[in-house]
């Protein structure tokens, strides 16, 4: 199945315009586990059904780094994310539209989600000016000036043709109350304008709850957006420096305020422990660069916690990363070999580590989904977290700093 489906539609002689499916994006909630908010559903999209809860690997520049679409199919990824900010700047949404849309352009036949570009614009603090109408920013590539308004980011995402698009929101410093009040007012105005501007019937537009770490603002945001009747809701502005306890507290508060029949998407969150804690609070969709970024740094997920393959302890370790793992990497290669590739800076090392890390999270989500259906999710969560050593805050911050140093121009 994977080999056949991996060929882009045009390679099979399909019509030139392949992304004009008229099916809407509909969520079916199938089951909620008694005793928790964990739930199982299916997101029906014009590019296939997405079983939820689901983890989306991130394809920032129309590619999940170090993986071909064929490998993502073999890993059975159902939904991947593209970054509007990056694709708008390079190669440009017009160009991608002329090439038949983002699915065709990147050879990916399953479902795609695009963010609004807001997160990147607002994380480049020095490069942007925001007003009630929109945000003006400079390109990190060439310094050229650009403007995003709610209408413009909807138009760009319609050109890209993703199955799920996101409203433009303002990501504020999560601890600055006064600023969050102003940003939230704009975010809600922009959400209404995005809804009015949206025209593609084959694309769903999701709203985004903001409000930093403040319970009153988060409540206000969830209630205001729920009134607008979006087909799905994201929770944004988390995993941006607040503690895990704060993030879980906000999820406890916000998730029950969102309509139960609509999917809930926790943006930018994807460590194994956060996937479990998020599902436990009723989250259906997650995305994060973590598995692919860690893999490129030589760090891989294992049931006891992350392994850093640079560690000399693995120099002659004949075992796979994870005994019993079904991924191509673990089926064929030892920790010693993978460590060698990392130390020698061989491209294959990035590729093999990425396969394992993406598989690890996708398999965790499949296990979670099955456990919810069988009423044993809480037991699975307890067992997994009882064994998995969570990377501490210092290590997480160290990873972020190291990555920022190496990628100063990749917001
Ligand atoms: Zn593996």
Q: What is the pLDDT of residues 367-406, one digit of tens each?
A: 999 999 999 999 999 999 999 999 876 666 666 666 566 5
What is the pLDDT averaged over residues 110-114?
Answer: 98
Q: What is the gyration radius of the CA atoms in the chain, in angstroms?
A: 21
Phi and psi torsions of 136, nearest 5°: -105, 135
Q: pLDDT of 143-196, one tens digit each?
A: 999 999 999 999 999 999 999 999 999 988 899 999 999 999 999 999 999 999
Q: pLDDT of 239-263, one tens digit each?
A: 888 899 999 999 999 999 999 999 9
Whether 19 is catalytic: no
What is the pLDDT averaged over residues 69-73?
Answer: 98
Q: How many CB atoms lie within 10 A of CB 208?
A: 28
- The pTM assigned to this predicted structure is 0.91
Catalytic pick among 19, 169, 284, 287: 287
Confidence label for 127 from pLDDT (cuts 50, 70 and 90): confident
Whether 12 has a pLDDT exceeding 50, the answer reads no
Whether 5 has a pLDDT exceeding 50, the answer reads no
The per-residue pLDDT for 230 is 97
Q: Which residue has the higher pLDDT, 288 or 406?
A: 288
Percent of the chain with pLDDT over 90: 84
For residue 354, the CA-to-ligand 1 centroid distance in Å is 9
For residue 243, the CA-to-ligand 1 centroid distance in Å is 29
What is the pLDDT averaged over residues 117-123?
Answer: 86
The per-residue pLDDT for 110 is 98
The per-residue pLDDT for 9 is 39
Rounded Cα distance, 372 and 40, in Å: 7
Whether 1 has a pLDDT exceeding 80, the answer reads no
Query: How far does the chain reach from its first CA to its final CA, in angstroms?
Result: 36
The per-residue pLDDT for 167 is 98
For residue 332, the CA-to-ligand 1 centroid distance in Å is 9
Q: Which of 223, 221, 284, 287 is nearest to 259 (CA)?
A: 223
Whether 70 has a pLDDT exceeding 70, the answer reads yes
Q: Are 213 and 243 within 8 A, CB to CB?
A: no
The per-residue pLDDT for 401 is 66
What distances in angstroms separate CA 386 from CA 19, 246, 291, 303, 379, one per listed residue? Answer: 45, 21, 21, 10, 10
What is the pLDDT averaged over residues 190-203?
Answer: 97
Confidence label for 6 from pLDDT (cuts 50, 70 and 90): very low
Percent of the chain with pLDDT over 70: 90
The per-residue pLDDT for 16 is 36
The per-residue pLDDT for 410 is 47
Buried b (16+ CB within 10 A) or exposed e, 130-150: beeebbbbbebeeeeebebbb
For residue 181, the CA-to-ligand 1 centroid distance in Å is 45
User: For 257, which DSSP code?
Assistant: G
Q: Are 83 and 61 within 8 A, CB to CB?
A: yes
Whether 163 is catalytic: no
What are the DSSP calls for 180-203, one per residue?
A: HHHHHHHHHHHHHHHHHH---TTS
**What average pLDDT does the chain have?**
91
Whether 55 has a pLDDT exceeding 60, the answer reads yes
Whether 345 has a pLDDT exceeding 90, the answer reads yes
Rounded Cα distance, 190 and 156, in Å: 15
**Sign, Cα dihedral of 65, 70, 71, 72:** positive
For residue 329, the CA-to-ligand 1 centroid distance in Å is 5
Catalytic pick among 19, 94, 115, 304: 115
Q: Which residue has the higher pLDDT, 118 or 216?
A: 216
The per-residue pLDDT for 18 is 38
Whether 409 has a pLDDT exceeding 80, the answer reads no
Whether 122 has a pLDDT exceeding 90, the answer reads no
For residue 212, the CA-to-ligand 1 centroid distance in Å is 36
CA angle at residue 70 from 298 to 101, to 5 degrees? Answer: 110
Q: Which residue has the higher pLDDT, 114 or 18?
A: 114
For residue 339, the CA-to-ligand 1 centroid distance in Å is 14
Q: pLDDT of 302-341, one tens digit each?
A: 999 999 999 999 999 999 999 999 999 999 999 999 999 9
Confidence label for 24 from pLDDT (cuts 50, 70 and 90): confident
For residue 335, the CA-to-ligand 1 centroid distance in Å is 11
């Amino acid at each position: 199945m994977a080999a056949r489906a991996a060929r882009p539609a045009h390679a099979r002689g399909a019509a030139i315009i392949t992304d004009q499916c008229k099916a809407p994006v509909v969520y079916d909630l199938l089951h909620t586990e008694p005793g928790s908010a964990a739930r199982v559903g299916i997101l029906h999209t014009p590019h296939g059904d997405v079983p939820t809860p689901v983890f989306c690997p991130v394809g920032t520049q129309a590619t999940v780094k170090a993986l071909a679409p064929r490998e993502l199919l073999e890993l059975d990824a159902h939904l991947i994310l593209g970054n509007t900010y990056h694709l708008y700047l390079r190669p440009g949404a017009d160009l991608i539209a002329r090439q038949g849309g983002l699915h065709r352009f990147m050879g990916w036949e399953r479902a795609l989600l695009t963010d609004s570009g807001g997160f990147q614009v607002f994380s480049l603090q020095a490069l942007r000016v925001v007003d009630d109408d929109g945000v003006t920013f400079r390109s990190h590539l060439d310094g050229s000036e650009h403007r995003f308004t709610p209408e413009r980011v909807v138009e760009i995402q319609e050109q890209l043709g993703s199955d799920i698009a996101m409203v433009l929101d303002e990501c504020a410093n999560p601890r600055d109350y006064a600023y969050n009040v102003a940003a939230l007012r704009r975010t809600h105005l922009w959400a209404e304008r995005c809804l009015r501007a949206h025209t593609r019937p084959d694309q769903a537009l999701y709203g985004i709850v903001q409000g930093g770490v403040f319970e009153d603002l988060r409540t206000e945001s969830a209630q205001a957006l729920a009134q607008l009747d979006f087909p799905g809701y994201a929770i944004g502005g988390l995993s941006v420096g607040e503690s895990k306890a704060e993030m879980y507290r906000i999820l406890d508060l916000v998730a029950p305020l969102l309509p139960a029949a609509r999917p809930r998407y926790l943006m930018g969150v994807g460590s194994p422990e956060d996937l479990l804690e998020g599902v436990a609070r009723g989250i259906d969709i997650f995305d994060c660069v973590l598995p692919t970024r860690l893999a490129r740094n030589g760090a891989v997920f294992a049931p006891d916690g992350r392994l850093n393959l640079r560690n000399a302890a693995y120099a002659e370790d004949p075992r796979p990363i994870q005994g019993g793992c079904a991924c191509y990497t673990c089926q064929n290669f030892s920790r010693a070999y993978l460590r060698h590739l990392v130390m020698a800076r061989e491209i294959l090392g990035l590729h093999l580590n990425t396969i394992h890390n993406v598989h690890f999270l996708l398999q965790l989500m499949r296990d979670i989904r099955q456990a919810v259906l069988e009423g044993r999710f809480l037991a699975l969560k307890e067992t997994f977290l009882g064994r998995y050593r969570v990377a501490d805050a210092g290590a997480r911050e160290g990873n972020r700093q190291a990555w920022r140093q190496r990628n100063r121009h990749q917001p």
